[in-house]
Amino acid sequence: MSKENKNNNAETDGGMVTYGIDDKPPLLQSILLGTQHWLTMVGSTIAIPLVLAGALGFNASQTAQLVGTFFVVSGIATLAQTTIGNKYPIVQGGTFSMLGPALAIIGVLASSNAAPTVMMRELQGAIIIAGILEVLIGYLGIFGRLKRYIGPSVIAVVIALIGLALVGVPQITSASQNWYLTGLTLTLIVLFSQYIDNYSWVFNLFPVLLGLGLAYLIAAALSIAGIVNIVSFGSIASAPPVRAITPFQWGTPLFTTSFAAGMIAGMLASAIESFGDYHSVARMAGEGAPNSRRVNHGLGMEGLGNLFAGIMGTGNGSTSYTENVGAIGITGVASRYVVQIGAVVMILVGYVGYFGAFVTTIPNAIVGGLFLAMFAQIVGVGLSQLQHVDMNQNRNIFVVGFGLFAGLSIPRYMNGLESGALEAGLSNVPVLGTVLGVPEVAQTLSIVLGTQIAVGGIAAFILDNTIPGTDEERGLTAWGEITEDEDAFQPSYERVLSRGETTDQEIADD
């Protein structure tokens, strides 16, 4: 099948896309659209450093510094991914997959009364090692080689679990949540994006920005009037004009083998999630499924992002942001240029203290309403991959059903175990107990088995490749037809080399 036909099919499957990957909207519009993309990931970009800061025992100044560092690292990593990585319009930022091992490392160090900065330096070292390993996984093409065995059923499970795994975030499930404000935010976003999007280009392009903005203005007005106490502006007044964010700002990284093993497990779970994100963003952008070269370069760049995060000291890694993928589905704006503008906004917010402080005033209830809309969109996109699979075949029904159920249930069991219970249990396994019971091995298994996307994806992958079924039944035939050609993605270094060869040839011709 020709590339032209593949793209036409992808556009039909992907739905309405207002701005495609290579489109460049007008500058002012791009700034607003980029800010909208950035706002969709504010919840996670603030939540992760706040959790880490609390566990580390950081004071208010250190916490603000950590939040600013997250924004700067996210912005720079996003620019790198969109320009010389996989070139998808996908935001990079902190990952919940690596938050678990980070908290485990902090717990071990806290028991020995380690200083907060020492704990951060240990996190930096572990993240740097995990990043280097991901660079090798990506640029050596390990995931790309596996891609031929990963069909629509597996991708459907992985993408759906990306959304389903986030239903328990505190911005949605907190018992103290202001559900009036959450409901208002959700209603506004759905109204602008689904019901009245055809009435005006403003509603069509900016449903998230309008929904968040109106909900925030109402909450702020009620707070100023003294009716409720939801928004506080005190942090803005006390914020520094400029925040100095530099490499190794917490000190020189420390390297401990057992800590690195746990962080590597978190990185692997994050890589599986990113693999699903790449397919999801391609579908939402109306493009063919990513080829193996694009996947490899995306993961390689994410490894470099982890390495950079370790150097800058976020205490967490860098990965593709699911929230941003959901925003593309809701807004229809898949422009790489827009996401790059949003990345510049992230960097400015990180360095300008007032901007970062303003972001922290957005109530969790508003972020929760945003999450409800976006995560639902992601689940739907995941399930839509099944259109390529023969769901009249029982083997496919079982693969998808078991993958989803295992991905939701097994991690819940693992996360409910008491500390040290898994290690003790594995050490009693006949023959293999001496290996499985090693703390580093047990911790790695605990992290992988405690991650919904990893468990569901691995389960679906094994079943889909072992239960008898034809390529047509599994959807591999249709999958191959909509996958972009191998020459559709050209790494940046190849473009530079080809330009050099062209110049040399021109000189020779002269």
- Per DSSP, the residues of 470-481 read -HHHHTHHHHHH
pTM for the complete prediction? 0.75
pLDDT value at residue 277: 83
Lowest mean pLDDT among 276-285, 302-311, 432-441, 468-477: 432-441
Residue 483, SS3? strand
Structure tokens, 188 = 């506004």
Does residue 1 carry a pLDDT above 70? Answer: no
- More confident site: 467 or 421: 467
DSSP classification of residue 352: B
Any idea how long the chain is? 510
The mean per-residue pLDDT over the stretch 284-303 comes to 88
CA distance 195 to 208: 14
pLDDT in tens, 222-240: 888 888 888 878 777 777 8
CA distance 292 to 90: 17
Q: Are 185 and 39 in contact (CB under 8 A)?
A: no
pLDDT in tens, 463-498: 999 999 998 999 888 877 777 777 777 776 666 666
The mean per-residue pLDDT over the stretch 263-276 comes to 81
The number of C-alpha atoms within 13 Å of 402 and in the hemisphere containing its C-beta is 14
Q: Are 359 and 46 in contact (CB under 8 A)?
A: yes
Q: DSSP E strands: which ranges in 332-433?
A: none
What is the tally of helices (H) and strands (E) in the chain? 27, 2
Q: Are 210 and 202 in contact (CB under 8 A)?
A: yes
Q: Are 157 and 404 in contact (CB under 8 A)?
A: yes
pLDDT value at residue 14: 42
CA distance 302 to 318: 6
